[in-house]
Amino acid sequence: MEIGKENKFVEFIKKYGIYVAVGVVVFAVALTFTLLATLNGSVPTGTGNLQFVMPMENASVIKDYSDTALQKNETLNQWEAHLAVDLASESSDVFAVLDGTVASVDYNYGDGYTITINHSDGFVSIYSSLQEDTAVKEGDNVVAGQKIGSASESSSNELDLGSHLHFTLMLNDDYVDPNDYLSLQAK
Ligand SMILES: [Zn+2]
pLDDT digits (tens, 9 = 90+) for 24-45: 777 777 766 655 555 554 444 4
Between the CA of 63 and the centroid of ligand 1 the distance, in Å, is 7
The range of the structural domain enclosing residue 29 comes to 1-43
* Cα–Cα distance, 132 to 113 (Å, whole number): 6
Between the CA of 82 and the centroid of ligand 1 the distance, in Å, is 6
Cα distances (angstroms) measured from residue 120 to each of 45, 52, 110 = 10, 12, 28
Mean pLDDT score, 82-107: 97
Between the CA of 166 and the centroid of ligand 1 the distance, in Å, is 4
CATH number of 126's domain: 2.70.70.10
Same domain, residue pair 11 and 85: no
Same domain, residue pair 19 and 74: no
Which residues does residue 73 pair with via DSSP β-bridges, in sequence order? 78
Between the CA of 43 and the centroid of ligand 1 the distance, in Å, is 26
Same domain, residue pair 70 and 25: no
To the nearest whole number, what is the mean pLDDT of the chain? 87
Between the CA of 87 and the centroid of ligand 1 the distance, in Å, is 8
Mean pLDDT score, 134-141: 98
Between the CA of 21 and the centroid of ligand 1 the distance, in Å, is 52
- Assess whether pLDDT exceeds 60 at residue 138: yes
* Cα–Cα distance, 157 to 137 (Å, whole number): 24
Mean pLDDT score, 167-172: 98
